[in-house]
């Protein structure tokens, strides 16, 4: 994240939002702080047990907000108003060991309403680390009343401040022990320095004179090895050397611990950020796995439970279905009987149609032609054929399917009607009313034909029809087949529906479809959560790798420090042992005193040379003097 904002009002809201989201700590360094809205957001965070630490500049405008913080026990570090030691002009805020807010924006009403400002909101660890180090430096300076501009060293800023060199430290310790010897022997090196200068002056810096004098000094020192006056001081020197050695060991241990502490401090922010990030990732992963009880958000565990419940419920519904076979002997018999009834009804109602609409005209035509056709049958089985021949295909087809009208009316619910009263009305219309109408018309047509054949006019009225046998004959032979046909069709439809999953349990099937849809959504959620968990695992693996790398780096540095100080202590002990050995033999006096005296004498001798010789010759004689000393020391 690296967001840059330039609108004052948006900047203020973003700062308050980031403060409200804080759950660990807030560190703030601010030059001018007058905005009470932001101050109250910080106080609210403090009341949520967030660790808050604030640095303010020495400015009178900050006094109101400073007092607000003090009244609410918010930690404040600030130079007293009017302090002349420097201006703390920073404007940054650090949140939860990772978020840094830095820019030109002061936490003031003027900045949010009038000024042109900017902030950068970043989660870059290097930015956070540098600003946090600066925060700790400023806090250290304020708490110790140090000028704000002084780059003080405080525990959070420490890096490895010493480059430990065993040789240099050993030389220093050796010099320290040598100084003890010099102090005990009470050798006046100044007189030898003066003597060297005078001898060099008298001999014009002669190398031969220096060699002779150096040899004489060496001979003068030899008696010190057996000098009884010095032997009495050996115990004191031994005690002083032991004390110096123990003191050096303790000093080295302190230095070692300081170096190790510096290494840890140098990586403390990065370690804290990594551990904080790992904890955050684990928490997010836990929510994806087990859900969030506070928000009700489901995790993979709850989704898997819901999937299992869904499957159990679906299996339960599946097992409750009872599906029967359609093609059974009973069904085949019913279909055969239905075929016979369809044929019968087609013939019967075609005959009725023929008699009502066509037969009377045909008989009239025959009588007019002088032919008496005789009384026709009540039901004419050849009516359909006659209609096709005499009236054409259109009327023939109508006669063929005329029976469908009462059949469809009496079975209306089977073709999709959902209204019960409509179904009942149509049933009785198809079975009773339609058949009565057809029977009345056939009966009246039959009576008319009878009268026509005897040359009379029919006097039959419609209300008189039920008194004639033709009416009841047509009615019974039309209604009974229709009723039987109705129940056969209903039975066949029921058998078909009982053989179909969709109709055996329409409600159950609908529930199963809903469960299947729900299962699809659950599986999508499961896949999404699984991918998120996988991403968190990868991120966690990466952060743990970074943490292990950092810990190895710290351990390596600590081990290097341990090795350096172990080697250093080994060298110090070797020097100590050598001094003790030479102290017991007395040789240390001749070696150390000779070194001290000869160095003083040489310094005085060389000191005169520039007064007599040119620079090149001085350098040449210095080399010759060093050669004389080395040759004498090898003897």
pLDDT tier for residue 586 given thresholds of 50, 70 and 90: low
- Report the range of poorest mean pLDDT among 4-18, 55-69, 222-236: 222-236
> For residue 231, is pLDDT > 80?
no
The pLDDT of residue 538 is 92
**What average pLDDT does this structure show over 568-574?**
87
Q: At what angle do helices 383-391 and 393-400 cross, to 10 degrees?
A: 160
pLDDT above 70 as % of the chain: 87
pLDDT tier for residue 330 given thresholds of 50, 70 and 90: confident
- Report the range of poorest mean pLDDT among 114-128, 486-500, 543-557, 585-599: 585-599
The C-alpha atoms of residue 592 and residue 225 are separated, in whole angstroms, by: 11
In sign, the C-alpha dihedral spanning 572, 578, 581, 582 is negative
The model's pLDDT over 425-469, given as tens digits with 9 standing for 90+, comes to 888 888 888 888 888 888 888 888 888 787 787 777 888 888 887
The C-alpha atoms of residue 67 and residue 585 are separated, in whole angstroms, by: 74
> For residue 358, is pLDDT > 60?
yes
pLDDT tier for residue 551 given thresholds of 50, 70 and 90: confident
Output the DSSP codes for 347-412: HHHHHHHHIIIIIHHHHHHHHHTT----PPPSS-TTHHHHHHHHH-HHHHHHHHTTTHHHHHHHTG
pLDDT tier for residue 403 given thresholds of 50, 70 and 90: confident
pLDDT tier for residue 161 given thresholds of 50, 70 and 90: very low
**How many Cβ atoms are within 10 Å of 155's Cβ, its own excluded?**
12
The pLDDT of residue 157 is 37
The C-alpha atoms of residue 483 and residue 491 are separated, in whole angstroms, by: 12
**What average pLDDT does this structure show over 198-218?**
86
- The residue with greater pLDDT, 583 or 485, is 485
**Beta carbons of 506 and 294 less than 8 angstroms apart:** no
pLDDT tier for residue 93 given thresholds of 50, 70 and 90: very high
The model's pLDDT over 505-547, given as tens digits with 9 standing for 90+, comes to 667 778 888 989 999 999 999 999 999 999 999 999 998 998 8
- Residue partners of 466: CB distance under 8 A and separation at least 6: 472
> For residue 155, is pLDDT > 50?
no
> For residue 634, is pLDDT > 70?
no
pTM for this structure?
Answer: 0.40
The pLDDT of residue 205 is 85
**What average pLDDT does this structure show over 571-580?**
85
The pLDDT of residue 185 is 59
The pLDDT of residue 163 is 38
Eight-class DSSP state of 107:
B
> For residue 504, is pLDDT > 70?
no
pLDDT tier for residue 160 given thresholds of 50, 70 and 90: very low
In sign, the C-alpha dihedral spanning 215, 220, 226, 229 is negative
In sign, the C-alpha dihedral spanning 10, 12, 17, 22 is positive
**How many Cβ atoms are within 10 Å of 581's Cβ, its own excluded?**
11
The model's pLDDT over 170-189, given as tens digits with 9 standing for 90+, comes to 767 777 777 666 666 556 67
**How many Cβ atoms are within 10 Å of 34's Cβ, its own excluded?**
19
**What average pLDDT does this structure show over 467-483?**
84
**What average pLDDT does this structure show over 541-570?**
88
> For residue 158, is pLDDT > 50?
no
The model's pLDDT over 266-319, given as tens digits with 9 standing for 90+, comes to 778 888 888 888 999 999 899 999 888 888 888 999 999 999 999 998 888 777
Domains of the chain, CATH where assigned: 2-143 (3.30.870.10), 166-276+562-634 (no CATH), 329-499 (no CATH)
The pLDDT of residue 149 is 67
The pLDDT of residue 94 is 93
Mean pLDDT over each residue of the chain, to the nearest integer: 82
pLDDT tier for residue 335 given thresholds of 50, 70 and 90: very high
**What average pLDDT does this structure show over 367-386?**
81
The residue count of the chain comes to 635
pLDDT tier for residue 222 given thresholds of 50, 70 and 90: low
The pLDDT of residue 410 is 82
The C-alpha atoms of residue 423 and residue 426 are separated, in whole angstroms, by: 5
The pLDDT of residue 502 is 61
The pLDDT of residue 339 is 92
> For residue 364, is pLDDT > 70?
yes
The pLDDT of residue 541 is 92
**What average pLDDT does this structure show over 341-361?**
87
- Residue partners of 130: CB distance under 8 A and separation at least 6: none
């Amino acid at each position: 994240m690296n967001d840059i904002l330039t609108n004052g009002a948006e900047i203020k809201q973003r700062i308050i939002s980031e403060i409200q989201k804080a759950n660990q700590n807030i560190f703030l360094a601010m030059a001018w702080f007058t905005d009470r809205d932001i101050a109250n957001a910080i106080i609210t965070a403090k009341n949520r047990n967030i660790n808050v630490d604030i640095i303010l500049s020495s400015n009178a405008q900050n006094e109101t907000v400073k007092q607000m913080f003090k009244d609410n026990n918010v930690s404040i570090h600030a130079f007293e108003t009017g302090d002349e030691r420097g201006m703390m002009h920073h404007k940054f805020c650090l949140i939860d060991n990772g978020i840094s807010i830095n820019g030109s924006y002061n936490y003031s009403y003027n900045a949010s309403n009038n000024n042109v400002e900017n902030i950068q909101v970043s989660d870059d660890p290097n930015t956070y680390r540098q600003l946090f180090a600066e925060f700790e430096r400023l806090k250290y300076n304020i708490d110790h009343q140090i000028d704000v501009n002084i780059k003080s060293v405080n525990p959070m800023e420490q890096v490895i401040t010493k480059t430990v060199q065993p040789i240099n430290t050993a030389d220093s310790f050796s010099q320290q022990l040598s100084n003890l010897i010099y102090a005990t022997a009470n050798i006046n090196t100044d007189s030898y320095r003066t003597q060297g200068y005078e001898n060099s002056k008298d001999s014009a810096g002669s190398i031969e004179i220096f060699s002779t004098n150096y040899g004489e000094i060496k001979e003068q020192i030899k008696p010190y090895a057996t000098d009884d006056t010095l032997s009495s001081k050996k115990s004191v020197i031994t005690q002083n050397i032991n004390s110096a050695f123990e003191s050096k060991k303790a000093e080295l241990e302190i230095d070692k611990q300081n170096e190790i502490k510096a290494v840890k401090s140098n990586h403390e922010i990065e370690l804290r950020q990594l551990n904080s990030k790992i904890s955050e990732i684990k928490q997010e992963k836990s929510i994806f796995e087990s859900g969030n009880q506070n928000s009700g958000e489901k995790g993979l565990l709850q989704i898997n439970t819901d999937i299992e419940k869904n499957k159990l419920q679906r299996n339960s519904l599946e097992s409750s279905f009872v599906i029967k076979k359609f093609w059974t002997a009973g069904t085949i018999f019913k279909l055969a009987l239905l075929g016979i009834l369809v044929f019968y009804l087609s013939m019967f109602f075609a005959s009725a149609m023929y008699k009502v609409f066509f037969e009377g005209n045909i008989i009239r035509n025959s009588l007019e032609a002088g032919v008496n056709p005789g009384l026709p049958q009540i039901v004419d089985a050849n009516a359909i054929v006659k209609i096709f021949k005499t009236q054409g295909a259109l009327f023939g087809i109508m006669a063929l399917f005329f029976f469908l009208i009462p059949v469809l009316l009496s079975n209306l619910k089977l073709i999709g009607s959902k209204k019960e009263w409509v179904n009942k009305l149509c049933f009785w219309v198809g079975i009773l009313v339609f058949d009565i109408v057809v029977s009345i018309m056939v009966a009246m047509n039959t009576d008319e034909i009878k009268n026509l054949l005897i040359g009379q006019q029919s006097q039959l009225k419609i209300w008189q029809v039920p008194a004639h046998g033709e009416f009841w004959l047509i009615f019974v032979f039309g209604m009974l087949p229709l009723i039987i046909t109705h129940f056969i069709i209903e039975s066949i439809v029921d058998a078909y529906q009982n053989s179909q999953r969709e109709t055996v349990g329409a409600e159950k099937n609908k529930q199963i479809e809903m469960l299947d849809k729900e299962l699809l959504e659950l599986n999508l959620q499961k896949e999404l959560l699984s991918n998120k968990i996988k991403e968190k695992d990868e991120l966690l693996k990466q952060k743990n790798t970074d943490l292990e790398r950092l810990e190895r780096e710290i351990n390596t540095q600590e081990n290097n420090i341990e090795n350096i100080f172990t080697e250093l202590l080994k060298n110090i002990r070797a020097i100590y042992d050598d001094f003790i050995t030479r102290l017991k033999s007395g040789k240390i006096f001749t070696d150390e005193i000779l070194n001290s005296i000869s160095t003083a004498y040489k310094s005085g001798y060389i000191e005169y040379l520039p007064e007599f010789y040119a620079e090149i010759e001085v350098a040449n004689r210095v080399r010759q003097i060093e050669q004389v000393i080395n040759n004498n020391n090898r003897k």
